[in-house]
């Protein structure tokens, strides 16, 4: 390839999708520049590190499944396959005031539901694990499908509280294909990277830099436009012209940043997408909360009102029941995680107020818990963290290729029916790169 043949490509966002696209572009010999608003690469998968830790910790809990082939293939391509770890942690459910192991395994035999409900649960679980065709499932909501095929006992005991906890007042809108995807690809072993996700993200960033890419951190994009039939990116008041631009940003960003987009049918498609945000309070504790070895404890909700619920968040995740606390200087690391609308009070509460609200219920799970167990605490919030897919959602997803010449959009809102996650960020990033190079 001559210099004349090389494309000048701009990528908005140095998260997993943006860097995966960049990897394919640099390997094809093109010039690539990435713009990332945050001070580190990684996007929603990024981590942080206490000065006393050897490993980084994700701001929002993350793991891979053994079926996450797009991610595993990329890690192998950059020569880091030997650094992937796949231990098997324990997943449980808070049920009838106690911790009950609950996995897609023989542990389901011990759930406190009737024999008939267990039998229906086994048949439904097998069906969702074995049937590959999800299209018919998007024609019905998860609420309707579970009520019909699982029955009200197991649904009201298991899945309905989880749907309420995640989607709040909108839990009856979510289609069954989304739930199918959550179960179909799930594995009992969960994966990470030696050093944490941030270690992988840094290695990937170094790999694309090593092949010529430039990554600008702490560099928010102000606008996306057109000049002479080519896409442009405006940074700090300066406009840069590219042959191709891939944006991995949120729907709201696209509508604000792309000149003229909101008035187009494509822009109206973007405006029709729904999503919710996420919050995580991360605690470094002196003692274990989940002393039975549970890694992930699902906390059910019977009402969308967080203050009226038994628990004000939906997942209690003791990271160091999955990864050795020796990597974190002996700290017991716990996530208190929740999904809420972007206008929820959890985005307005101070970090101290939110932390105290979440910490206030930990003694329900472990009566020995005391406030002085908390050595350190961190709060992370993201207003765009989880798409809300309604019935026949596939008909409403905007394509990656926008109506603007040379501009592509690759986001978590388009990975459906799969759930947002780094594996599908790799897939959609690389798919966008293929389209741009077509």
- Mean pLDDT calculated for residue range 118-140: 93
Using one digit for the tens of pLDDT, what is the confidence trace for 16-34? 999 999 999 999 999 999 9
pTM given for the model = 0.94
- Give the pLDDT band (50/70/90) at residue 112: confident
Instruction: Assess whether pLDDT exceeds 80 at residue 1.
Output: no
Torsion sign over Cα 24, 199, 221, 17: positive
What is the CATH topology of the domain spanning 3-56+196-273+392-437? FAD/NAD(P)-binding domain (3.50.50)
CB 41 within 8 A of CB 205: yes
Instruction: Assess whether pLDDT exceeds 90 at residue 111.
Output: no
Number of other CB atoms surrounding residue 144 within 10 Å: 14
Per-residue pLDDT at 320:
98
Interacting residues of 236 by C-beta distance below 8 A, sequence separation 6+: 219, 222
CA distance 38 to 47: 12
Which residue's entry shows tokens 């008909």?
A: 395
Using one digit for the tens of pLDDT, what is the confidence trace for 157-170? 999 999 999 999 99
CA distance 430 to 425: 8
> Taking Cα atoms as reference points, which of 233, 210, 172, 206 lies closest to residue 389?
172
CB 76 within 8 A of CB 68: no
Beta strands in 6-119 (DSSP E): 8-12, 31-35, 47-48, 57-58, 64-65, 84-85, 90-95, 98-101
Domain boundaries, the chain: 3-56+196-273+392-437, 105-184
Interacting residues of 194 by C-beta distance below 8 A, sequence separation 6+: 55, 83, 84, 85
Interacting residues of 378 by C-beta distance below 8 A, sequence separation 6+: 48, 59, 281, 282
């Amino acid at each position: 390839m001559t210099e004349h043949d090389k494309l000048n490509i701009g990528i908005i966002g140095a998260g997993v999708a943006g860097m995966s696209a960049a990897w394919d572009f640099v390997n094809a010999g093109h010039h690539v520049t990435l713009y990332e608003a945050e001070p580190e690469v990684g996007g929603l998968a990024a981590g942080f590190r206490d000065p006393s830790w050897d490993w980084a910790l994700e701001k929002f809990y993350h793991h891979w499944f053994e079926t996450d082939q797009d991610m595993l293939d990329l890690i192998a391509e950059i020569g880091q396959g030997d650094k992937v770890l796949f231990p098997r942690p324990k997943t449980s459910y808070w049920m009838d005031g106690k911790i009950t192991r609950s996995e897609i395994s023989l542990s389901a035999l011990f759930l406190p539901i009737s024999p008939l409900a267990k039998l229906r649960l086994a048949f439904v679980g097998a069906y969702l694990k074995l049937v590959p065709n999800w299209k018919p499932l998007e024609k019905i909501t998860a609420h309707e499908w579970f009520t019909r095929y699982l029955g009200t006992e197991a649904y009201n005991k298991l899945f309905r509280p989880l749907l309420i906890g995640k989607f709040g007042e909108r839990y009856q809108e979510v289609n069954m294909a989304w739930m199918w995807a959550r179960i179909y690809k799930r594995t009992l072993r969960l994966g990470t990277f030696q050093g944490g996700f941030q270690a992988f993200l840094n290695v990937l960033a170094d790999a694309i830099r090593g092949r010529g890419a430039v990554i600008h951190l702490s560099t928010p994009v102000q606008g996306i436009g057109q000049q002479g039939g080519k896409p442009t990116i405006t940074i700090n008041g300066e406009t840069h012209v590219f042959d191709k631009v891939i944006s991995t940003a949120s729907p709201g960003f696209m509508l604000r940043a792309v000149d003229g987009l909101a008035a187009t049918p494509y822009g109206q498609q973007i405006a029709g997408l729904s999503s919710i945000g996420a919050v995580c309070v991360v605690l470094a504790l002196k003692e274990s909360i989940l002393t039975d070895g549970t890694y992930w404890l699902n906390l059910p909700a019977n009402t969308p009102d967080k203050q009226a619920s038994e628990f004000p968040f939906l997942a209690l995740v003791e990271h160091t029941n999955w990864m050795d606390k020796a990597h974190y200087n002996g700290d017991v690391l716990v996530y208190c995680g929740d999904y809420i609308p972007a206008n929820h009070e959890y985005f307005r509460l101070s970090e101290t107020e939110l932390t105290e609200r979440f910490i206030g219920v930990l003694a329900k799970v472990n009566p020995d818990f005391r406030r002085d167990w908390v050595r350190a605490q961190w709060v992370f919030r993201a207003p765009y963290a989880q798409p809300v897919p309604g019935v026949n959602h596939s008909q409403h997803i905007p394509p990656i290729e926008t109506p603007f010449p040379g501009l592509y959009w690759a986001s978590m809102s388009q990975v459906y029916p799969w759930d947002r996650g780094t594996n599908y960020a790799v897939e959609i990033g690389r798919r966008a790169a293929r389209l741009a190079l077509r």
